[in-house]
């Protein structure tokens, strides 16, 4: 077949004509000249003995899927093998779940009574528990978590073999409030073969306390006015069937509580009482009185604890029982002010023999009237002459020492109008002499009824210590002396004569920090001769003699004698020259704390009370 010229038809058109030419046969078809450059890579004909598509060569080795399947199978087999090993070897592993602990104790226990606790311990492990110990732990009393309150009872029970059961009996003693719950814990510690580690297991039982063996209870007013005295009763009861052991009561009062009276008196320090044994069913009572100066609406608490004697005298060991009591403070629309008058005028001090007049002004400070107002004044102490007290319009009970004013004696007290005030007067004579610093105590209480609130109460208390006097007297002696004096009498210029200074000190009330002092003129010498060498000292630098008395009991008198030497000068002729400066007494009253300072005139060569043929006091010329 002749090919058409190359520029007449394209190669594609030529192939198309040949393919679809009905006159052509397969044998006549020859290789087209599509691309001469492809001769080496394309087949030269469409013959069946050399197909265009050839089968790819098969890869050698395992495929990825086969490899993944093999690895997964190996991991599964390893897991199954490990699980089987753990299951087969678990018979030799110690587990706390295979340790049985049971504590049997009554759910309700009597306070202060020994209660049995039975612990049953079983080992269901296949191996032995070694060096096992049991520790019983609980809080014995009601106090703080100190060593005396916490119980830790430890027991060594040795080894516990596999499938072995052991029993331990304990005694538990608890103190506390009724219906209080308490936890009791038992802890097991042990070792296993091949390990130094300590393993443990614990169980806890909760019990409820019944009535404590010794109970304490506080009774008193739950509401007080600011400054009002309240009486509180602390009862300690023995609830057991036997006599109790000695115990200690500790009372905790608010910081602002003003304790006025206790019966019986507490121990030397604080509000602590030693309670002797109490018979079964009996009760011991402690009475406490005092007031709270707080603010309206404030709540204060009193707390009482009873327990065993602690390490110190005033401390509690194990607390058996405790009780708290709350006090609410309220203010009153009734207010008081008072003043004290004596012959010396308005004063805030009393002296022996004073005739004191107490003036009390009361006021209704509210905006509403008060009904049935009454006032009661209590006088106590040992300073007042009780049988000579004279109230103004009030009713005086000399035996009780009380004066009462009410609407029966003052009409306006039936209804005290808002902001209305009144005045009460009482004359109180003071003793001429008495014990150490006698005291006058007054307490005035006002009561009334408000239209909007409960009964109101107002209280005012005050006290005065009667101030005493301290006296000092001194004179010069020559013959009447415990020492032998020498030198001419009457004295002569430029010649030494010795004298004795005789000093007497006394006081109505007890004194502290007491001392007597005086100076010596230049012509007088200190002989260091005294009746009390330890308390009388001379300072040569200041030329001062000091007698340190310190404490002087009430009504007591002390005497001291001191020797001096006097050398008069010519200027002293016809005179009695001074041999001391002014003699000063300084002291503080022990109770009232008032400072006393008394000064007397200097001693001279004047001698009184001795027999002489001539005047022994005046210096004469040679």
Architecture per CATH, 334-467: Sandwich (2.60)
Nearest by Cα to 338 from 468, 467, 458, 449:
458
What per-residue confidence (pLDDT) applies to 343? 84
pTM here?
Answer: 0.47
Average pLDDT per consecutive 10 residues, the chain (622 residues; last block may be shorter): 53 68 58 49 53 53 71 81 58 78 87 86 91 91 63 91 91 80 92 88 89 87 79 90 87 86 82 90 91 78 87 79 86 86 83 90 89 92 90 87 91 91 92 83 87 70 87 95 94 96 93 95 95 87 95 92 96 95 94 90 94 93 77
DSSP per position, 601-615 = PPPBS-B-SS--SS-
Cβ contact 373:405 at 8 Å: no
- Cα–Cα distance for residue pair 592/306, rounded to 1 Å: 37
Phi, psi of 244 (to 5 degrees): -75, 160
DSSP 8-state code for residue 348: S
The alpha-carbon radius of gyration of the chain (Å, integer) is 56
What per-residue confidence (pLDDT) applies to 38? 47
What would the two tokens of residue 422 be? Answer: 């009144």
- Distances in Å between the Cα of 302 and the Cα atoms of 215, 251, 259 are 16, 7, 12
CA–chain centroid gap for 490, Å, is 73
**CATH 2.60.40.1170 residue window(s) in the chain:** 470-600
Cα torsion for 568, 570, 575, 580, to the nearest 10°? Answer: -30
Strands 129-139 and 150-160: antiparallel
What would the two tokens of residue 557 be? Answer: 């008198």
Nearest by Cα to 583 from 569, 564, 611, 556:
564
Phi, psi of 351 (to 5 degrees): -130, 160
Q: Helix, strand, coil: what percent of the chain each, to 5?
A: 10, 50, 45
Phi, psi of 391 (to 5 degrees): -80, 155
By three-state DSSP, how is residue 475 classified? Answer: strand
Cβ contact 99:124 at 8 Å: yes
Nearest by Cα to 140 from 192, 175, 98:
175
By three-state DSSP, how is residue 352 classified? Answer: coil
- Distances in Å between the Cα of 598 and the Cα atoms of 143, 261, 417, 512, 587 are 56, 37, 52, 15, 9
Instruction: Give the CATH class of 96-209.
Output: mainly beta
Which residues are 123's β-sheet partners? 99
Task: Show the CA angle centred on residue 394, arms to residues 391 and 400, nearest 5°.
Answer: 80
- Cα–Cα distance for residue pair 211/88, rounded to 1 Å: 56
**CATH 2.60.40.680 residue window(s) in the chain:** 214-330
- Cα–Cα distance for residue pair 11/35, rounded to 1 Å: 10
* 470-600 has CATH 2.60.40.1170 classification: yes
- Cα–Cα distance for residue pair 580/544, rounded to 1 Å: 9
What per-residue confidence (pLDDT) applies to 203? 93
Cβ contact 218:279 at 8 Å: no
What per-residue confidence (pLDDT) applies to 51? 56
Task: Show the CA angle centred on residue 249, arms to residues 244 and 251, nearest 5°.
Answer: 160
Assigned CATH for 214-330: 2.60.40.680
- The structure tokens 């005050």 sit at 462
**CATH 2.60.40.10 residue window(s) in the chain:** 96-209, 334-467
């Amino acid at each position: 077949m002749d090919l058409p010229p190359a520029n007449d038809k394209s190669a594609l058109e030529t192939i198309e004509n040949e393919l679809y030419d009905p006159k052509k046969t397969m044998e006549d078809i020859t290789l087209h000249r599509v691309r001469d450059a492809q001769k080496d890579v394309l087949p030269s004909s469409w013959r069946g003995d050399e197909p265009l598509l050839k089968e790819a060569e098969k890869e050698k080795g395992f495929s990825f899927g086969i490899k993944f399947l093999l690895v997964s199978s190996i991991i599964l087999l390893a897991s199954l093998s490990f699980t089987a090993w753990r299951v087969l070897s678990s018979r030799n592993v110690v587990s706390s779940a295979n340790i049985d602990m049971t504590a049997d104790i009554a759910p309700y226990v009597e306070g202060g009574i020994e209660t049995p606790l039975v612990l049953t311990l079983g080992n269901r492990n296949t191996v032995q528990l070694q060096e096992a110990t049991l520790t019983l732990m609980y809080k014995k009393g009601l106090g703080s978590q100190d060593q005396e309150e916490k119980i830790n009872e430890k027991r060594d029970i040795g080894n516990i073999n596999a499938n072995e059961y052991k029993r331990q009996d304990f005694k538990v003693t608890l103190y506390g409030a009724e219906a209080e719950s308490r936890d009791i814990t038992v802890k097991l510690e042990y070792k296993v073969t091949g390990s130094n580690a300590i393993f443990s297991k614990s169980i806890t039982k909760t019990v409820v306390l019944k009535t404590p063996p010794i109970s304490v209870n506080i009774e008193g007013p739950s509401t007080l006015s600011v400054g009002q005295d309240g009486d509180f009763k602390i009862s300690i009861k023995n609830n057991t069937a036997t006599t109790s052991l000695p115990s200690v009561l500790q009372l905790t009062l608010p910081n602002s509580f003003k304790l006025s009276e206790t019966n019986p008196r507490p121990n030397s320090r604080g509000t602590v009482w030693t309670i002797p044994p109490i018979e079964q069913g009996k009760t011991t009572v402690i009475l406490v009185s005092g007031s709270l100066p707080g603010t309206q609406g404030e709540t204060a608490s009193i707390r009482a604890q009873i327990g065993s004697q602690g390490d110190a005298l005033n401390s509690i060991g194990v607390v058996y029982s405790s009780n708290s009591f709350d006090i609410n403070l309220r203010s009153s629309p009734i207010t008081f002010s008072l003043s004290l008058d004596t012959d010396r005028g308005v004063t805030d001090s009393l002296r022996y023999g004073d005739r004191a007049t107490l003036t009390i002004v009361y006021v209704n400070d509210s905006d509403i009237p008060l009904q049935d107002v009454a006032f009661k004044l209590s006088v106590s102490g040992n300073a007042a002459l009780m049988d000579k007290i004279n109230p103004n319009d009030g009713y005086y009970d000399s035996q009780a020492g009380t004066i009462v004013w009410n609407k029966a004696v003052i009409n306006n007290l039936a209804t005290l109008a808002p902001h209305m005030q009144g005045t009460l007067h009482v004359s109180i004579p003071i003793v001429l002499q008495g014990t150490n610093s006698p005291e006058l105590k007054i307490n005035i209480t006002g009561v009334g009824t408000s239209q909007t609130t409960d009964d109101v109460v107002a209280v005012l208390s005050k006290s005065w210590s009667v101030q005493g006097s301290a006296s000092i007297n001194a004179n010069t002696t020559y013959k009447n002396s415990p020492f032998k004096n020498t030198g001419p009498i009457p004295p002569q210029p430029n010649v030494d004569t010795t004298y004795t200074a005789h000093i007497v000190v006394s006081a109505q009330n007890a004194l502290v920090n007491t001392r007597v002092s005086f100076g010596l003129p230049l012509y007088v010498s200190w002989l260091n001769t005294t009746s009390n060498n330890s308390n009388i000292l001379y300072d040569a630098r200041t030329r001062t003699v000091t007698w340190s008395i310190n404490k002087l009991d009430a009504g007591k008198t002390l005497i001291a004698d001191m020797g001096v030497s006097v050398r008069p000068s010519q200027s002293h002729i016809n005179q009695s020259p001074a041999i001391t400066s002014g003699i000063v007494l300084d002291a503080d009253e022990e109770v009232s704390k008032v400072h006393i300072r008394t000064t007397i005139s200097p001693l001279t060569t004047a001698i009184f009370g001795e027999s002489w043929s001539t005047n022994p006091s005046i210096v004469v010329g040679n």
